[in-house]
Amino acid sequence: MPADKPVEQADGFAAHPGCGPLLPGPALDSKPLRQKVFEHVRATGTAARADVSRALGISAGSVTQITSDLIERGYLRETDASPRERRESGRGRPAVALTVIPESHRVIGIKLSDERHTAVLADFSGTILAEAMLPTPAVRKSLEQITEETAQLVDRLLAEAGLPLSSIAAVGIGISGLVDPQEGTVPWSPLLDGLNQPLQQALTRRLGRPALVDNDANTLTMAELWFGAGRATSDFAVVTIEHGVGMGLVVGNRLYRGTRGMGMELGHIKVQLDGALCRCGQRGCLEAYLADYALAREAGTALGRNPRNMASAQAMLETLFAEAKGGNMAARSIFRRAGRYLAVGLSNVIQLFDPELIILSGERMRYDYLYADEVLADAQDLTLSHGRQPCRVEIHNWGDMVWARGAAALALSHVTDTALGQGAA
């Protein structure tokens, strides 16, 4: 597949022009003007200089100077203006707009997961050029094993795109567990043996390209913020239900990670003291009642089967869901109980952060018992809501490629900061 031809988007995101947050950042945003101008053009897809001036509240002369510099640097180019921009340009003035030069940088985004790793290749405009997937055994791995699997996936992706590794500016990685994105370490992950693993350092050394590491729920939230429903929403939360339970939070149009970058661990809030055992080693976590392995643990009893004989937790859950739809009351009770715990978790999110929107995402959103009307109603009933409008909830049943796309946004953000931020020449 030619590297300059975008792949067909099958991830559910609407094909809106541009990528990145559409709303302005905080008033005290320290980004230099040239970066703000570039990011506005990238977010809108194309923008006339007058539009940039109005959107950012800067003079036309400043826009002309900055955009000329960005054109000279090879990041922007002039293109035909849209019909609206041509009408607004005025009689006798050139009807031109600005757009990002896609090939100025390329990045890779990767989601590391229990049963398969996924990757996307994106250009500097955010267009996806290629995708790849690598099946992997669902067992804990050493740092060396996960590094080699990532390198294999990168090789597969670049072969699909017909590009050399030297054409990649950065690689973004999303992995489940506790991740310190500032240090690039993984204090704990269900995918990795050992604690405090220096994943970013290992991947940067192995790939020979800058690697960025973050919690996978954060990368999915980045996907919504850069490509999805969160582009025009200043405050929203993403709650993920898959092999684990995760959460990402956007406040003031920016991803919020906490002081050390390891906040928003919704799956490990305690919902029952001395309760069910979680894979993190503690008891009573929300994840221990809601994640794949938690439902599969009870499914074996409900279906009269030994879960050790099943190919995977996913296979067990598919059978459990079919049984529930077929009228098996024990199977239905498992999903309904999980839905009640999800309602508790959602209520806590609403109570603590008062988001405009909560997006429920992940493969388990195919199981409609988890987001039935009574579940969402329970979440509102458990929330102290006097004078509060009910929080909007959307269900996004995205596949793994969207998580990888969010990791690409992580890499794009890093490359943009490096090229145009405070420390750039």
Residues contacting residue 36 through CB under 8 Å, at least 6 positions apart? 25, 29, 56
∠ Cα 70 71 72 (to 5°): 90
Closest of 112, 111, 113, 110 to residue 122, by C-alpha? 110
| Residue whose entry in the numeric block shows the structure tokens 């809601």 | 290
C-beta pairs of 302-306 under 8 Å, 24+ apart in sequence: 302/328, 302/330, 302/331, 302/333, 302/334, 303/330, 303/331
Residues contacting residue 27 through CB under 8 Å, at least 6 positions apart? none
pLDDT at residue 44, rounded to an integer: 95
How far is Cα 100 from Cα 40, in angstroms, rounded to an integer? Answer: 10
pLDDT at residue 320, rounded to an integer: 85
- Decide: 225 and 355 in contact? Cβ < 8 Å: no
Specify the CATH class of 231-398 in words. Answer: alpha beta
User: So what's the architecture of 33-103 in CATH?
Assistant: Orthogonal Bundle (1.10)
How far is Cα 73 from Cα 57, in angstroms, rounded to an integer? Answer: 23
237 forms beta bridges with 249, 358
In degrees rounded to 5, what are phi and psi of residue 151?
A: -65, -40
Please state which of the four CATH numbers 3.90.1300.10, 3.40.50.720, 3.30.420.40, 3.20.20.70 is assigned to the domain occupying 104-222+402-420: 3.30.420.40
User: Mean of the pLDDT values across residues 123-139?
Assistant: 95
Q: pTM for the whole thing?
A: 0.88
Strands 106-111 and 245-251: unpaired
132 forms beta bridges with 119
Burial of 317 (0-12, 13-18, 19+ CB in 10 A): buried
**What are the tens digits of pLDDT across the range 218-232?**
999 999 999 998 998
- Decide: 106 and 168 in contact? Cβ < 8 Å: yes
Q: What is the largest CA-CA distance in the chain?
A: 79
The answer to which of 63-77, 279-293, 297-311 has the lowest mean pLDDT is 297-311
Can 104-222+402-420 and 231-398 be said to share one CATH topology?
yes
Token pair in block for residue 188: 């704990």
Token pair in block for residue 203: 């991947």
How far is Cα 320 from Cα 292, in angstroms, rounded to an integer? Answer: 11
Strands 106-111 and 116-123: antiparallel
pLDDT at residue 6, rounded to an integer: 67
130 forms beta bridges with 121
The answer to which of 82-86, 132-136, 145-149, 182-186 has the lowest mean pLDDT is 82-86
Token pair in block for residue 302: 């409900």
- Decide: 194 and 146 in contact? Cβ < 8 Å: no
User: Mean of the pLDDT values across residues 73-101?
Assistant: 74
How far is Cα 118 from Cα 150, in angstroms, rounded to an integer? Answer: 9
Task: Round to the nearest angstrom and report the end-to-end CA distance of the chain.
Answer: 35
The domain spans of the chain are 33-103, 104-222+402-420, 231-398
- Containing 336, the helix (H) or strand (E) segment is helix 329-353
304 forms beta bridges with none
Q: Is the pLDDT of residue 187 over 80?
A: yes
Q: How confident is the model at residue 1 (pLDDT cuts 50, 70, 90)?
A: very low
- Decide: 116 and 131 in contact? Cβ < 8 Å: no
pLDDT at residue 14, rounded to an integer: 54
pLDDT at residue 312, rounded to an integer: 65
How far is Cα 265 from Cα 248, in angstroms, rounded to an integer? Answer: 8
pLDDT at residue 30, rounded to an integer: 83
Token pair in block for residue 201: 């350092």
Sign of CA dihedral 54, 58, 61, 63: negative
Q: How confident is the model at residue 88 (pLDDT cuts 50, 70, 90)?
A: low
Closest of 416, 412, 16, 423 to residue 214, by C-alpha? 412
Token pair in block for residue 306: 């030994």
| Residue whose entry in the numeric block shows the structure tokens 């009870």 | 298
- Decide: 202 and 143 in contact? Cβ < 8 Å: yes
- Decide: 289 and 338 in contact? Cβ < 8 Å: yes
